[in-house]
Structure 1
Amino acid sequence: MFRHALQAVAFLNEEKITTKVEHLKETFRWSDAEVGIAVSKAPTLLTRTKESLQRRSEFLISEVGLEPTYIAHRSVMLTYSLEGRLRPRYYAVKFLKENGLLKGGPSYSTVFNETDKVFREKYICPHKEAAPHLQEDYDAACKGEVPTNFRFT
């Protein structure tokens, strides 16, 4: 982690770091302490563009409904691809929940952090019969073709 932290700040002066921290506070509605937690867990957040962070904030807070504190404590999820990982997995799990194929529900942190292989084994493969298009829809979503609704039949 120390190596990642050094890499993140190597080319940033104090003013740029301060600006990035302020942007994180505004974008995710974090306190100073929450920014500290988030950056300590994912120092590369300091290298992300404002637009990239804004899109992730809008998605995770507004669409998924995650609390800012939850995100701060699991900030590594902000380093994942929004279009290639976060959105497709969210839509797949949402589809499974809405159609009664997933009892209870895993935390989104778990869903986002799992490797692609593990995610597919847990959430896609077990539902091949009940939701025959799930794998196809998930694959399309991973390519950026997020369907408005995953198909059931």
Structure 2
Amino acid sequence: MNSAKKQAISQNIFFLKASNHQNHKKAGQQDYSKISKNRQIIPAQEPLLIANSVSGNASWYGPGFDGRLTANGETYDQQEMTAAHPDLEFGTKVKVTNLQNGRSVIVRINDRGPFIRDRIIDLSAAAASALNMISSGVAPVRLTILGQ
């Protein structure tokens, strides 16, 4: 896709990595995310085009992870407005809206997760508190990708 076309559509879509592990590999390494039964390496597919807004369930994580390293190498601080997402690039800003109460918060992706089925994002304790979802633990949300 040429750069003019990418720029023209960049406000309406975002890219998801084909592999959840793509951000973890070192520069120049092969992506081994898909290996056939006979051990032949099959390159991961090209990035997928996805709408810039998606709805689903959010969860949060906090005290047990505070002070540990996130997937991008930062130290997790549960009081920061951050989140874990399985595919979005680290540093991506996402507006998260709680569909039960209309509250919104902007978070920065700095970790991978959630690793529980039917959840689309894992929020820091601060973000979950701002969305008033600490006690419920899980809430229906809409994610709007804002970019880097």
Same fold (TM over 0.5): no
Answer 1 or 2: which has greater helix percent. 1
TM-score by length of structure 2 reads 0.24
Question: Comparing both chains, which one has the higher relative contact order based on Cα–Cα distances under 8 Å and sequence gaps of 6 or more?
Answer: 2
TM-score in terms of structure 1 length: 0.24
Q: Which has the larger radius of gyration?
A: 1
